[in-house]
Amino acid sequence: MLSNRFKRFAGVALVALAVTGCAHRNLIKDGEEFYTQGRYELAVERYEEALKLKPNDKDTQNRLQQARRDFTAWLSQVRSAANTAYDRNNLGKAMLLYGKVAQATHEQSAWDRYNSAYQTIATQHQFRIKLDSDRRVFGDDLGYGVAGLQLVNKVNSKLGNEARVSMSRAPVHYNLSESVVPEVQQYVSGQVMVSNPDFIRLQGDVSDQRYQLDRAKDNLRDARRDFKRERRELESAERDLAKEEGALNKLNITDPQYDTQKREVDRLKDKVSRQREEVRRADDEVDKRGRKLDRADHKLDSLLTEFSIVPPTVMEDVYSDYHYERYILTKTASSALVMEVDGRRSDTPVNVVSEDDYYDDHYTIGLSRKSAMVESDLDMESRLNSEVRIAAQNRLKALVSDYKQSLLLEAAQVVGNDDRFDAWVAHGVAGSPGVDGFLADKMRQYLELELGRGGELDINALLTLHPGA
């Protein structure tokens, strides 16, 4: 028992070692590929994972140390480039590079420079509005929670990131309309006599069972005939055996015919034994077929009893279509969000609907009269105001989004690679933080052209390291 357990344990251990070894080789292979490509950060990650699987492996330790040295050297290059950009007031480029250093080393000085640059860029490129709105409609929190939007008391409309915005709700108009919906419902209009499906089913069952009973009788008759035949063969074999045994008893054991006669007697004994088994089987078959006949006869009696009490016909409901009209009463409250941005007006239609149906008495189908109940003007106005607030919040988000896109268009006009990169970062910080995938790739490639690929530059991650992003 202990030996078997040890073998199972050893087998599991060998499998685990094989899996670990395979995983370790794959990680080392990936690390080598990344290191050859000059992507030291990814090489470090793979070698660290490999070292967890084989902590004492010297080759893995050496590979990891070399990759770390090269990654550290690359970070020093990034730190130097960040300092240069910061001194030249290229805050966008400096922010992302300090972010990479802080992300990899957790240096407080890098975090401080990153947060300082982020705060400056965000302040310079935050969209600011002076908002005038009716508090009874819009409440006190309109504009709050919109990423990249700041509410101020005074603006300079000549600046691209400042605007004077007023919002109001147009007068509410109520409208009642009615429509007709044709309806159809079935009802029991009478009864008709039809053949009873249970009676028809029983007719078929009785016919089938009579056939089964006839088959059971035939099978029993065949079994009895077989039993008689086997019994006759047994009696014949027993007579032959008695005859040969009598002849054997007359011989002396020294007689030349004795052995031959003895073999004949033994053969007949075997034959009698086998034939007795055949007789027993035939007798069992007669008993088995007899029980089947009894069951078939009993089932037929039960069906005939049921057949005698099931009526041949039954009354069946007749269904007819009842046509009637259902009326839909629709009440609509319509208004609009009126928005002015530096004197330019735009209206956003808003409406809410209250609907119910009504109909008359229809006794034929058991339908009682129903009246339509629609919301009051006061309730609908309250719902309408909620929709207007949602529309207003969405329009403010759209304003910030439009401003964010305008920064991207402005960046295309900027002369100087570092200044254009700063403009891209400003676009990424403004509004909802981040840039699309195409621009993120361009920004990453721009930095890699100067610094190489020693570390991974996830632009959108670096744009959102600030706690307020």
Tell me what the mean pLDDT of segment 135-150 comes to.
89
Tell me what the mean pLDDT of segment 253-258 comes to.
88
pTM above 0.85, yes or no: no
> CA-CA-CA-CA torsion for 114, 117, 121, 122, nearest 10 degrees?
50
Give 373-404 pLDDT, tens digit per residue: 999 999 999 999 999 999 999 999 999 999 99
The answer to whether residue 225 sits within a structural domain is yes
Number of helices (H), then strands (E), belonging to the chain: the values are 12, 6
pLDDT surpassing 60 at residue 469: no
Look up residue 324 and give its two tokens.
């009637």
pLDDT surpassing 90 at residue 1: no
Going by C-alpha positions, the residue among 286, 302, 301 that lies closest to residue 216 is 286
Going by C-alpha positions, the residue among 210, 202, 208 that lies closest to residue 308 is 202
The answer to whether residue 176 sits within a structural domain is no
Dihedral of alpha carbons 100, 101, 104, 107, sign: negative
Task: Identify the pLDDT of residue 468.
Answer: 57
The answer to whether residue 386 sits within a structural domain is no
**Single-letter amino acid, residue 225:** R
DSSP 222-241: HHHHHHHHHHHHHHHHHHHH
How far apart are alpha carbons 333 and 344 in whole angstroms?
26
Question: Which CATH number is 211's domain given?
Answer: 1.10.287
Name the pLDDT band for 2 (thresholds 50, 70, 90): very low
DSSP 170: P
Tell me what the mean pLDDT of segment 16-31 comes to.
77
Tell me what the mean pLDDT of segment 164-181 comes to.
96
On whether the CB atoms of residues 374 and 382 are closer than 8 A, the answer is: no
Look up residue 198 and give its two tokens.
């249970």
Angular region, 39: left φ>0, alpha ψ -120 to 50, beta rest: beta
> SS3 string of 427-456?
HHHCCCCCCCHHHHHHHHHHHHHHHCCCCC
CA 22, distance to chain mean position in Å, is 33
How far apart are alpha carbons 332 and 377 in whole angstroms?
10
Beta bridge partners of 362: 367
On whether the CB atoms of residues 453 and 38 are closer than 8 A, the answer is: yes
Task: Identify the pLDDT of residue 145.
Answer: 84
Task: Identify the pLDDT of residue 184.
Answer: 97
The answer to whether residue 438 sits within a structural domain is no
Mean pLDDT, the chain, whole residue set? 91
> CA-CA-CA-CA torsion for 244, 245, 250, 253, nearest 10 degrees?
110
The percent of residues in the chain predicted with pLDDT above 90, rounded, is 75
Task: Identify the pLDDT of residue 80.
Answer: 96
Name the pLDDT band for 323 (thresholds 50, 70, 90): very high
On whether the CB atoms of residues 463 and 435 are closer than 8 A, the answer is: yes
Task: Identify the pLDDT of residue 460.
Answer: 95
How far apart are alpha carbons 66 and 44 in whole angstroms?
9
Tell me what the mean pLDDT of segment 123-140 comes to.
90
pLDDT surpassing 80 at residue 12: no
Going by C-alpha positions, the residue among 138, 134, 172 that lies closest to residue 386 is 138
The percent of residues in the chain predicted with pLDDT above 70, rounded, is 95
The answer to whether residue 406 sits within a structural domain is no
Look up residue 360 and give its two tokens.
């008359």
Tell me what the mean pLDDT of segment 1-9 comes to.
53
Task: Identify the pLDDT of residue 316.
Answer: 93
Name the pLDDT band for 160 (thresholds 50, 70, 90): confident
Tell me what the mean pLDDT of segment 334-341 comes to.
96
Going by C-alpha positions, the residue among 389, 319, 330, 15 that lies closest to residue 168 is 389
How far apart are alpha carbons 183 and 325 in whole angstroms?
6
Dihedral of alpha carbons 359, 361, 364, 365, sign: positive
pLDDT surpassing 70 at residue 339: yes
Tell me what the mean pLDDT of segment 353-358 comes to.
97
How far apart are alpha carbons 187 and 59 in whole angstroms?
87
pLDDT surpassing 80 at residue 190: yes
The answer to whether residue 461 sits within a structural domain is no
Beta bridge partners of 357: 328
pLDDT surpassing 90 at residue 438: yes
Task: Identify the pLDDT of residue 347.
Answer: 96
Tell me what the mean pLDDT of segment 223-242 comes to.
93
Name the pLDDT band for 4 (thresholds 50, 70, 90): low
Tell me what the mean pLDDT of segment 308-317 comes to.
92
Task: Identify the pLDDT of residue 5.
Answer: 59
Name the pLDDT band for 56 (thresholds 50, 70, 90): confident
The answer to whether residue 204 sits within a structural domain is yes
Task: Identify the pLDDT of residue 340.
Answer: 94
Tell me what the mean pLDDT of segment 185-203 comes to.
92
Task: Identify the pLDDT of residue 140.
Answer: 87
Cβ burial, residue 380 (10 Å; 0-12/13-18/19+): buried
The answer to whether residue 382 sits within a structural domain is no
Tell me what the mean pLDDT of segment 40-52 comes to.
91
The number of folded domains in the chain is: 1
Task: Identify the pLDDT of residue 433.
Answer: 87
Structural domain that includes position 226: 197-310
